Chain A
């Protein structure tokens, strides 16, 4: 190849990349590094300027019971939402992948929560969960059951939020399964039928393994969402009662924008970043190897 072209190739390549590179560096790479850096300094005010404190913020974090609580909440939140919404998503996709009456309505019904903003969803659900006057308590009342303070009881607040999140997310994940199911060769099902395999057997031994790449993709997305999605807390609980529904990102927000302690917020962000990094590496080394068989 022509040497001038060869050089131009590099120049053009970088030129084309430049706008994206500037923005990505400014809003992804630089802040990631800066977060680590800021976490080594104390909270600064006009009277007490910020100073280097080494690992003091990390020490404080380890001794901060709220940090551990939000971390555990986050894990329960993920463990509560992900398996159920993924299972529901597969079920939904299987149900509407065949011809049945009203199929497009069904798909729409499943998918609609996905396009609603979480903040709107929370507004609607707040009313369901409201004690005494809320819809759930009223329905319980018809059956003579006592109402419950769903969001005011530390034992039920996280499950209540999990149920709402499942409602919001299952339809979104269904779409990916639907796409994957439509890519399966139809001969597979016919072959299974000829063999006399039961539908359950066919699903378990043929379909589910073939959906594995989709499941992994969905899982990664779901885990990411469970860390990123805190919008509903602003409307529903503000993390209460007693942090029973508080999540890591919301706690970061509180520290940065309610207590003006951006340095402690940065320390907490480092934890979040580390977890995401571990996930990314796990996906890269472990999961990708299994996805690429197709």
Chain B
């Protein structure tokens, strides 16, 4: 009732204020793309460059890229724009937003757009691991683009100073603890290792659980395994790095300032997104290395980052144009260029087979660590009600690391919350 009143009132008000709504009559297709990076950063220039190239090749399509901030902002803004009727045809959004977007009926499956066998083959041209977060219910909803995994950055100078082999990064949890103890200085001026626990704690935790041979959720996105014994022991290990082995500061570690800590030599090892690779390369004043994350029962990392989605409220012409743009941006050449400039991954084997990326990898082998690690990777935590489920896990991790709850108790609580939230979807 109130909504009705509001709608009528606003319509009257709109009519009074605006009078006539100008209708843009353009023959060309215009695409508005939301993009999850902060405006004006180095990445903006890269995306702008690719988009400009695309428009040069396709003069009949005009692309407006809207840089909305972080993943959360991009999703909020894109959905808000859709709801308020502003134009938005496609977007790069968090790969794990898939269920939320499906539930909001905001996106269209690529299977419903692609028709030719050639296009269907294109859907299978990406790394399967990167497609995991984009597929559910037998359909493909997201195409990988700005994708990353977690890798281990380490300070080779610090390794040398501690008497460790700088070419041999810790490959198991035990080696990590041993190396960490050697690297940690008693006066607190240098820690052995830092794993960030703000911002995206569940993501880092996804790596630890995978290394414990445990996934966090099923592929239908309606069940989580937060209280599985291997999940609990993974969190116990994370906590022990601080309290038991003393190789990591206790309490939570800030995602945003961690890179600075590493560059300042305050920690010899950090786990962070490959998306940081280029910045670290440019700013490190010491010899650094990049390695796969260590293994416990096996190696493991979640993938992360953003996928392309096409919104449902689009005309057939717009969908065709959007497909063109997505194909252009994920083409091997562009994906290779994107990877070199940012540190994000190339999205298909073909991208790593391009000449320029092969040359780059020869010169800077660390650029391929993320790709090599893909073999061990798994999907990032993503479920229905993903925001709340994620927060339940994030809170549990932070509570355990901060010592207010035991890992087992915290995770059981998170599982109860997740069960309550997901019951309706099973």
> What is A's interface to B at a CB cutoff of 8 Å?
30, 33-34, 37, 45-48, 66, 126, 130-133, 141, 146-147, 149, 151-154, 237-238, 240-244, 254, 257-261
Q: How far is the CB of B96 from chain A (nearest CB, A)?
A: 13
Contact of A242 among B76, B264, B399 (CB under 8 A): B399
Chain A min CB distance to B406 (Å): 13
Instruction: Give the number of A-B contacts (CB < 8 Å).
Output: 97
Contact B106 A46 (CB under 8 A): yes
Quick one: CB contact mask for B246-258 with A, threshold 8 Å, 1 for yes? Answer: 0001111110010
| Segment of B49-57, B97-105, B322-330 engaged in the interface with chain A | B97-105
Q: Tell me, in angstroms, the Cα distance from A256 to B123 when the chains sit together.
A: 35
Q: List 11 A-B contacts (CB under 8 A).
A: A45-B105, A131-B249, A131-B253, A133-B257, A133-B266, A151-B254, A152-B252, A240-B198, A244-B402, A257-B76, A259-B387
B249's partner among A34, A141, A149, A259 (CB-CB below 8 A) is A149
Q: Which 4 A-B pairs have the closest CB atoms?
A: A46-B105, A152-B251, A241-B398, A152-B252
| Nearest-neighbor residue (CB-CB) of B312 within chain A | A46
Residues in A neighbouring B385, C-beta threshold 8 A: 259
Q: Is the CB of A238 within 8 A of B188?
A: no
B260 within 8 A of A: yes
Contact assessment for B399 and A241 in the assembled complex, using a CB-CB cutoff below 8 Å: yes
Contacts of B405 in A (CB 8 A): 242
Q: Name the interface residues of B369-426: CB closer than 8 Å to any CB of A.
A: 385, 387-388, 391, 394-396, 398-399, 401-402, 404-405
Query: Given contacts A34-B2, A45-B104, A258-B76, is CB(A132)–CB(B249) below 8 Å?
Result: yes
Pick the contact of B387: A237, A241, A258 (CB < 8 A): A258
Among A66, A130, A242, the one with the most B-chain Cβ atoms within 10 Å of its Cβ is A242
CB distance from B136 to the nearest CB of A (A): 14
Interface of chain B residues 1 through 40 with chain A (CB within 8 A): 2, 6
Tell me the count of chain B residues lying within 8 A, CB to CB, of chain A.
39
Closest Cβ of chain B: how far from A146's Cβ, in Å? 6
Contact partners of A151 in chain B: CB under 8 A: 252, 254
B104 and A260: CB pair below 8 A? yes
Q: Which residues of A contact B233 (CB under 8 A)?
A: none
Smallest distance from the beta carbon of B221 to chain A beta carbons, Å?
14
Cross-chain contact A149 with B250 (CB below 8 angstroms)? yes
- Evaluate contact between A133 and B260: CB separation under 8 angstroms: yes
Q: Which chain A residue shows the least CB distance to B10? A: A26
B2 touches A37 (CB 8 A): yes
Nearest-CB distance from B310 to chain A (Å)? Answer: 16
The interface residues of chain B lying within 8 Å CB-to-CB of A33 are 2
A182 to B422, CA, bound (A): 62
Cβ–Cβ contact B402 & A242, under 8 A: yes
Q: Is B95 an interface residue (CB 8 A)?
A: no
CA distance A231 to B41 in the complex (A): 23
Interface residues of B in 136-185 (CB under 8 A from A): none
Within 8 A of A (CB), among B209-243: none
* Complex partner residue of B197 from A48, A130, A241, CB under 8 angstroms: A241
Partner of B104, one of A34, A46, A131, A133: A46
Docked complex Cα distance between A34 and B9 (Å)? 14
